Chain A
């Protein structure tokens, strides 16, 4: 259930997340690097995220991004682990002086798995597919600035925007380039990546074979098989019995001990983009008052919460921005844990005797644990918390759509999602015209430096306003057999580049 909601949230995010952290195409796990590795190895990957279907514009979900993004399908650009955007199928591009027209030159000699050569028509087709009426792509709304797509010749694509969008190239990294003649994309594929789809058995596994005609460096293994599990214990057992070589994302710290104490495995602690939020309804009393929000933020000991939920993993975070976003700043000192300060702020706000509120809490981990913790922390400053446990579905309708709540817990998985604070209609109702303006200006900035500077302002301002209480950043834990190296470490919830994975023996 929980993953479902993740997926849902994610869908927004989904794609988004996806590339985000990506990364690591190359840098990955290190342990086996010295030995000789088998070029024709089969790598078995265990995951909790099975694709719904294989089309990321038709509700394929998080799983399809994990398995196919970068492995089977490629974009004009790809997103690296440090958040940088790399050229992939685009060899080069130019931006017009007014910032509205982008001219892309495609890489030469790129072939689809069907054998057809990549042309500008395919790029146009793929982008239009994301923008189509029935598209469920998470990036659709970001790409709606596209006004016109021209293809002057087979290797040139000229895209005109309706207004400036500094994130355009970044957003393009979420657009898969698909053969315009391909059919049945929900169950088959025709991409340009280092792997072709071998077989997808729903409910069970998805296997990819090395593509001999790949334009870049060939994959370091012959085949990868994604094995899907619904149950984390079953997944861990599979790793323990060598049925899988690596688990893309461990969701529970309880499972880690058995791997940490076993010399055959390596537990990798990466950075995720998933933040756990205590989201106030900034339009509902008493959270309309900035001092109340600050008081609540200061009253909760995030470090202790993180420790109790994740042990030594994860990070404290002082705002909506994870370290991999370009505009990251460490703001954990703003509204740091301080009970005395919290009490003082409450008195100033006229709540010297405290108050009580209802916390809408999704019914899956870690929310119930976090809610109980928050309840006990806030009791120390006189605030009474009523925990109202709801299903993801109820959350979506009650909180997200109807804004019918006072405060809620939720995980937000996207990278670069600070910009939601610029939208006063978003569910948490944070409304600061200055912030909205900065967000807008940032998107229309002429340089990434300018964009970064503006979003840093947003970051600081929302933190000072305690727009929400950012409890912690989830860890991203990949556990792998020591025979493996070259696997990606970060942002794996949505993306898992398999082509650099090397296996010995």
Chain B
């Protein structure tokens, strides 16, 4: 296991390094000049050159890259071209919104989807099992922003129960206020996320229900509940966990839409602003942090799967055991 962990960590480090190269190069290939955002209409060529020089975008790419990596190594995400403010604290502040938003939505989605998916499979011939399947199908087709707008119209504009958007200026200083601000966004993400999760849980459950080991366990006198608990859950969980990892990662990256609909000052909206302004340090900072998060999520999902399913341990570590 220790060897496996080491290998996974090394893999994570290499992935991160590769991702940062790709990220850096791709950004530079985008059309547009960051100096445009810094100079006024009527700026002379000298002023534009001076703007490029001040942000260092006139230096050779390899030099810019090593500079960025050097800063990263010392934990510094650099300085925004546009605002001349450090990117690190900005990203950290935005995580205060994005992390609770994503995690709460994730937990809620799992709490809804696992039982619902199980019921949809186990009671697939009953009307409510079929209804659950149908609703989840529908849920997958609904765009996040549309659902967000509907929820705002119903719960904020009409009922007036919850704010339509925004986040308290003092952040979590008043947790109740911050919580209220996140209710609708969390529900929006959770609904969309659970729709696809239900389908995965349902098919994993169907696999388990039709499996030989479950039939064997029952033949040996186990009750259905006990057989499911001892054998079914574990086996069903393995594929679901990898999907959970992917869902969590994509929610983190996809928060930009929800953050825009609900005017939340999160990582996604920071990224959107950065892209609009060719603010490379901001874009790089956000994407680097998100890449790291996605890799870590993948790593954790993998680890959990191995803990649940002993067969994977041997396989993934190259059959050494």
Q: Which A residues are within 8 Å of any B CB, using their own CB? A: 1, 4, 8-9, 11-14, 52-53, 58-59, 133-134, 136, 138, 140-141, 186-187, 199, 201-205, 207, 225, 227-231, 233-235, 237-238, 240-241, 243, 391, 393-394, 396-397, 400
Contacts and interface: CB of A to CB of B under 8 A. Distances in A.
A227 B167 CA distance: 10
B309 interface: no
Given A13-B41, A58-B84, A140-B40, 20 more contacts: A8-B37, A12-B40, A52-B82, A53-B85, A59-B83, A59-B84, A133-B50, A136-B38, A186-B85, A202-B93, A203-B273, A229-B165, A237-B164, A238-B164, A238-B165, A241-B164, A243-B166, A391-B32, A393-B33, A396-B33
A133 B276 CA distance: 26
Given A4-B277, A8-B37, A393-B33, A59 B82 contact: yes
A9 B41 contact: yes
Contact of B85 (A138, A187, A240): A187
A141 B84 CA distance: 22
A397 B169 contact: no
Contacts of B152: 237
Contacts of A13: 40-41
Contacts of B93: 201-203
Contacts of A397: 32-33, 36
Contact of A205 (B37, B50, B169, B260): B169
A1 B40 contact: no
Contacts of B94: 203
B164 A201 contact: no
A233 B276 CA distance: 19
Interface stretch (B13-21, B262-270, B295-303): B262-270
A460 to B, nearest CB: 24
Given A133-B50, A136-B40, A397-B36, A231 B90 contact: no
A33 B171 CA distance: 35
Interface size class of B (residues with CB under 8 A): 35 or more
A234 B269 contact: no
Nearest to B164: A237
Given A59-B82, A237-B156, A136 B278 contact: no
Q: Counting chain A CB atoms within 10 Å of each CB, which of B165, B262, B278 scores highest?
A: B165
B219 to A, nearest CB: 59
A53 B265 CA distance: 16
B166 A1 contact: no
B149 interface: yes
Interface string B250-261: 000000000011
Interface of B: 31-33, 36-42, 50-51, 54, 82-85, 90, 93-94, 149, 152, 156-157, 160, 163-167, 169-171, 260-263, 265-266, 269-270, 272-273, 276-278
28 contacts: A14-B40, A58-B84, A134-B50, A136-B38, A136-B40, A186-B83, A186-B85, A199-B169, A201-B93, A201-B170, A202-B90, A202-B265, A203-B94, A204-B265, A205-B166, A228-B263, A229-B165, A229-B263, A231-B260, A234-B166, A234-B261, A237-B165, A241-B156, A243-B164, A393-B31, A393-B36, A396-B33, A396-B36
B283 to A, nearest CB: 14
A230 B166 contact: no
B289 to A, nearest CB: 15
A234 B165 contact: yes
Contacts of A205: 166, 169
Contacts of A240: 157, 164
Given A229-B263, A238-B166, A394-B31, A4 B276 contact: yes
Contacts of B50: 133-134
A389 to B, nearest CB: 14
A140 B269 CA distance: 32
A140 B39 CA distance: 12
10 closest Cβ pairs, A-B complex: A203-B265, A12-B41, A237-B164, A393-B32, A204-B265, A12-B40, A234-B263, A205-B169, A53-B83, A11-B40
Nearest to B169: A205
Contacts of A186: 83-85
Contacts of B41: 8-9, 11-13, 400
A12 B42 contact: yes
Nearest to A235: B263
Contacts of A230: 260, 263, 269, 272-273
B213 to A, nearest CB: 52
A234 B276 contact: no
Q: Counting chain B CB atoms within 10 Å of each CB, which of A9, A59, A133, A203 scores highest?
A: A203
B83 A52 contact: yes
Nearest to B82: A52
Contacts of A140: 40
Contacts of A138: 40
A201 B36 CA distance: 26
Nearest to A231: B260
Nearest to A58: B84
